[in-house]
Amino acid sequence: MNKFYVTNVQQSDTNEKTGHYQFLVTFDDKTKCRVFYTKNPDWKLESVTRLLTVPCPICRRDYFCNCLERFTDVIDQEVKESGLLPE
Ligand SMILES: [Zn+2]
């Protein structure tokens, strides 16, 4: 898997003073992940983590794995290209 299709980016926790943002990203197969960004002034991906309540987008397991860490660059690009980040 080398392409994700981001269908939704939901802001879940934000500290605008420090420029830290947390989003819930949904892919078109209904899997999700949590992404942490900073904005200063450009968006910069800090990390991507699994939501343990839904299967992993890559290995489809529903327990802990590190798959997403290998795809942080791709996910970062997909999220930015989705145009769903706030202004
Ligand atoms: Zn996995």
Measured in Å, residue 25 CA sits from the centre of ligand 1 at 16
| Residue 52 to residues 16, 29, 66, Cα–Cα distance (Å) | 26, 16, 12
Tell me the pLDDT of the chain (87 aa) as tens digits: 567 899 999 999 889 899 999 999 999 988 999 999 999 899 999 999 998 888 898 898 888 888 998 999 999 999 999 999 997
pLDDT computed for residue 38 by the predictor: 96
Measured in Å, residue 50 CA sits from the centre of ligand 1 at 8
pLDDT computed for residue 2 by the predictor: 60
Give me the helices (H) in the chain, please: 72-82
Q: In sequence order, what are the residues at sequence separation of 6 or more whose Cβ sits closer than 8 angstroms to the Cβ of residue 71? A: 1, 2, 4, 48, 58
User: Which amino acid is located at 59 in the chain?
Assistant: C
| Residue 48 to residues 14, 25, Cα–Cα distance (Å) | 15, 10
User: pTM for the whole thing?
Assistant: 0.88
Measured in Å, residue 42 CA sits from the centre of ligand 1 at 29
Measured in Å, residue 41 CA sits from the centre of ligand 1 at 32
